Structures are given as C-alpha cells and as structure tokens.
Structure 1
C-alpha cells in the first residue's frame, strides 16, 4: 500500500511502543494530511518555547497545585489560549498547528497542548476520555484532582466530573469508575480522528471522512464498525468495488451485527 508522506510519518510514529510514541508528532502528522506545507518541527519548537518560558516561572518546590496555577496563568492569561465555544465544530480546532497558531481549541486538542507542555516540565499527566468531554489528571498517586483544559485549566474533583456529564447529557448521570480511567496514546489519537470524522461527515466531505477512518484503522485494525462506515462512505462516493470489499469484510467479521440485513441490502444493490 502506498502512503503519502504524512500518512507514512503517522504510521511510523504509531508503530512505536507506548512510552516512545510522541503524541504531538503524531497529531501534527494528522494535520499534515490537511496542510501539505506543514513542518512539524516548527510546531514542536513552539511547544518547546512555551515550556522554556514556563520553566523560568516555576518555584523551587514544584507542588502540583502551584504548578497547575502557573501553567494556567501562562497558557490562558498570558498567551490567551481558550476553548472555541463560538465555533466548536470548526475542523481547525482539532489540528494542533491551528490550535497553536489561533490559540483556540476543543477539549481534546487543548488537553494535548497542556499534556505536551507539562511533559516538557517533567510534570507527568494522563488523558481522561470521559464520554463527551476530555480532561487530564496529574500522574501522582492519590492526587485526587483533574484539570479541564477547555475551561481555562479549572481544577476538578470527582463530583465536578459527574456534574459535567449530567450537564452534557441533560440528565442525572452516575459517574462510572471507568469514565476516569487514563487512556492510551492510541486511544487519544483515535479520539482526535473520530472528532474529525464526524465534522467531515456533517459537512458531507466524504473523502476526508474516509481518510480519518483509514488512520483510525491503522491505530485499531479490528474496529469493524469503522470498516463498515468506510464501506458506506465508499458507496456514497460511487467507489462500489471498495464499498463491497469493506462491507463484505464487516459481515464476515461481525455476522450477527444488528445492521447485518441493511448492509446485505446495500451489497445486493451494488452487485
């Protein structure tokens, strides 16, 4: 299979083990498919510079709460990063280069910024992929707090996380323990791509949606729901040979799928 340079860069990065995989690089390789001219090293340098400026401001004793306050002040007050509430579904909110240039993002991309800056300050954090929202947790035993990079780095406790979910879903939501489990770097990247997929679908940019699914499947080859979605998109694009291939694979791998009859109908039409 022939990959573009951006896709090859992405594939090479995600094949590294969890400890060595560089999230910022992988995210910039996602953006590189949108922007051919993008030079990832330039934006990695921007992250390095932000961390270098912050390092000058850190106290000798780096207590977690102090660290968070200093990072928050610099990112949100001095540099002006903020959540793009006015145009949440602008695809630029998901591309790390755009987030750094425009200082606007959504929960997942602002979390990536925060995570990468914290990493450079030796202040380890992990991503927490709650349903419908993304936050961070300092990686210290029993620290008991979370950070919401979309809301100016607000410090949260478990009750706050439950309140966020109840507000999002407009009903009382019980906070399940797994909602606060850290996610892997592969899951982090898949969440960025899934956001982009739905943005492109809503804008009927089907070829771009296919490209996001291709990369999700590089991360998780056995996600057969994505294989099905790609097949349906190929159908929309009149790429029936590719559509048949994906939809047949979906039915082979998930023969008892609840939508199996509908998929079989699509296949019969194309055949």
Structure 2
C-alpha cells in the first residue's frame, strides 16, 4: 500500500520512471489539484483522509467479514460524512479536484472512488478502481468472486446483470462473461490518474479553455510519455493557443511515432495548415 505520511508530494518529472505499483494515487491526485489551486493545503487534505480511516478503525477491526467491513466504510463516508455524487452539476471541474471534493463532499465517480479506495486501503482492505466504460467503479475480491460498487451512488453494490446492462451500450451487443470479466480488471494508479486528467481535458476543451486543456495533457505525458492521444491533444491545444512551434513539435512527433494511427490523416492535415506548405508531407508518409 502506498501511503504519504507528510506534506511532500512526488515530482511530476519523476513519475515517468516510477513503476506502476509505486505511483501514489492520493499524492498524484493532489498534484493534479495543486495545478489548479497552488495554495492547496496538502497536509490538511492528507490529514482529512487519515482522519476518515482513523474514525472507522475500531469498528472495521471488530468485524471479520470483508463485505461487512466495506459496508461500514460506505456507511461512514456516504451516510454520515455526506460524500455524494454531484448529479446536479456533473461537469463542474471541481468534481475532479480532490481538495474540493474533500471540502464540498461532492464529486464525480472517479474522485469519490479515490477517497473510497484510500480510506479502505488504510484499513487493510484491498479495493481497486475499475475503468468501467462511461462510469468509474470500484471492486474488492471476496471469497466467492468480486464485490463491485458504484461510488457515485453511495457505494451501492452492483450485480452481474446490472453491470452487463451498463456495458452493453458501449459494445453494441450482448456482453459475454469473458468480456465483462476483462472490463472489471483493476485499473493501475497511472491509468486512474490519466483518466482524471482526460476528464478535465474534455471539460476544458468544451469550455474553450485551451491553456488548462494543454496543461492536462502535459500532465498525462508526465505519467505516460508514450500516450499517443495525449501527445496529439497537447499539439492540437498548442495550435489553438497560437503556439505553433509546440504544435508542430507534438503533432510531427505523433506522426513519426504512430504513422498508421487512425487519426493520422487529421493530424497530418492540421500540421500542413500550421506550416502553410507541403514540405512536411514527404517526411510524414
């Protein structure tokens, strides 16, 4: 279990070389928040998560059954402390920034999942995130399989048929057991953090806030320098900002590294627009 016991956070520049299992979920979620809130009180945020776990420890340690332990955690977080999914303002960026979720007790599925996972892990429960299509979930191994829960809806357990129904629109057909099991694979911390950043990127692109959109993709590339979509989207964002050199660098690198990608024609066209002539065409085919 990765824990951060003081106010020091990892450096963005160190994360590309950090093994997946060593990427600290809570610490990096707070790094994302600090980009938007530079005066963020990191120690207070960490202490709040620790306090949630400490208040539960006597009760959870007195229970033998893991699902009952998880039920107690969910009751504390969602019923007593009031954490809730922000159904009314789902696309508010504050739902993705962990300091604001801790303050407001409102979040989106993935930010609530981070809090739920971090509290559970401090109490000895192995809770993982699940990059379920459309809606982030959490899972916990139990004796007879998996307990899958929806943090956006008060940690409610989800049965197999409901999961299948939720997945079906994204597959366009019935979802066989093998496919459903694959979808429910645990998401590494790096993937969870990248999904937080991609969610924010989509919001900022929709709002025409290209500086923040570019920042989000830059952070994804700190986590995963080989992320093709992030390199493309940072380049497109640079173009919107008028930073032609940055756009040409990123979009050109994208074509050189992934010349057969499905979006290669779009990227090539944008590059040629930026350069204003056909010189690049010979170099990128």
- The alignment's TM-score, normalised by the length of structure 1, stands at 0.90
Q: Distance in 2 between matches of 1:178 and 1:261?
A: 31
User: Which one of the candidate residues 48, 63, 66 is aligned to 1:64?
Assistant: 66
Alignment map for 1:132-211 (pairs within 5 Å)? 132-140=134-142, 142-166=144-168, 173-174=174-175, 176=179, 177-211=181-215
Q: 1:73 and 2:79 equivalent? A: no
Deviations 1:186-212 (A, max 9, x none): 111111111111011111110101011
Deviations 1:135-157 (A, max 9, x none): 11114454332111111111122
- Contact 1:14/1:186 (<8 A) preserved: no
- Contact 2:10/2:28 (<8 A) preserved: no
Q: What's the counterpart of residue 219 of structure 1?
A: 223
How many angstroms does 1:239 deviate by?
Answer: 0.6
Deviations 1:237-266 (A, max 9, x none): 111111111111111112223433333332
How many angstroms does 1:8 deviate by?
Answer: 6.6
- Contact 2:109/2:152 (<8 A) preserved: yes
Q: Distance in 1 between matches of 2:152 and 2:42?
A: 23
How many angstroms does 1:159 deviate by?
Answer: 1.8
Moved over 4 A (4+): 168-173
Residue ranges of structure 1 left out of the alignment (5+ in a row): 1-5
| Larger mean Cα displacement after TM superposition, 255-264 or 217-226 | 255-264
Change (3 A) 1:8 1:243: farther
Residue ranges of structure 2 left out of the alignment (5+ in a row): 1-7, 276-285
Q: Distance in 1 between matches of 2:123 and 2:268?
A: 53
How many angstroms does 1:76 deviate by?
Answer: 1.1
| Larger mean Cα displacement after TM superposition, 143-152 or 233-242 | 143-152
Change (3 A) 1:11 1:122: farther
Q: 1:248 and 2:249 equivalent? A: no
Q: What's the counterpart of residue 104 of structure 2?
A: 102
Q: 1:231 and 2:235 equivalent? A: yes
Query: Between Structure 1 and Structure 2, how many residues are aligned?
Result: 265
Change (3 A) 1:260 1:138: closer
Change (3 A) 1:188 1:261: closer
SS of match in other structure, 2:132: coil
